[in-house]
Amino acid sequence: MPLTLDRHPQTTSQAVRGIEVVVSEAARGSLTLAFALEGDLSGLSIPESRASRRAGGLWWHTCFEVFVMAGEGPGYREFHFSPSGEWAVYAFRGYREGGELEVELDPGIVVRRIGDRLELDAKISPDFLPPGRSLRLGLSAVLEDADGVLSYWALRHPPGKPDFHHTVAFATQLVLP
């Protein structure tokens, strides 16, 4: 069942009509994510395709994100997936306490452009998920308009400025078998 991301009320985007995400468990406990953005793709700055590799600062441009917390935390992981094929993984002990994980994730990012739709699929191996069967997820996207303005999208936004790390943003639960 698709989950719908909402734009943060303090940000704007004339190009995007909507974003949906489907999250499912794949073989051997992998987590699969299918992001689908609909809108005027010519009004967005979408990174060109590159070889899949780890890269920093992806949140300064168009990218899709998932935050994964086991149970009530406080630790969590943050995953970034760019339409370029680049990715990043971060580990946190608590709210914004941590940093980049030096791992080779190989999320198998697949990107498709079909008319006014941009789709990005990615997979997270269970080796990189926090331990536990009950996971809280924060799904989000940072979108860069063609003029360089960023908009922030999530399942749920906390009060104030955009903050995907806030516990309010971990708005859906997934129980692995």
Q: How confident is the model at residue 105 (pLDDT cuts 50, 70, 90)?
A: confident
Mean pLDDT of the chain: 94
Does pTM surpass 0.85?
yes
Reported as a single tens digit per residue, the pLDDT across 125-151 is 988 988 877 899 999 999 999 999 999
CB atoms inside a 10 Å sphere around CB 34: 16
Find the mean pLDDT for residues 154-168. 97
Burial (CB count within 10 angstroms: exposed 0-12, middle 13-18, buried 19+), residue 75: middle
pLDDT of residue 61: 96
Instruction: Tell me which residue of 123, 18, 15 sits closest to 66, measured CA to CA.
Output: 123
State percent of the chain over pLDDT 70: 99
Compute the distance between CA of residue 47 and CA of residue 59 in angstroms, rounded to an integer. Answer: 12
pLDDT of residue 102: 82
- In order of their start, the domains of the chain are 3-175 (2.60.40.1190)
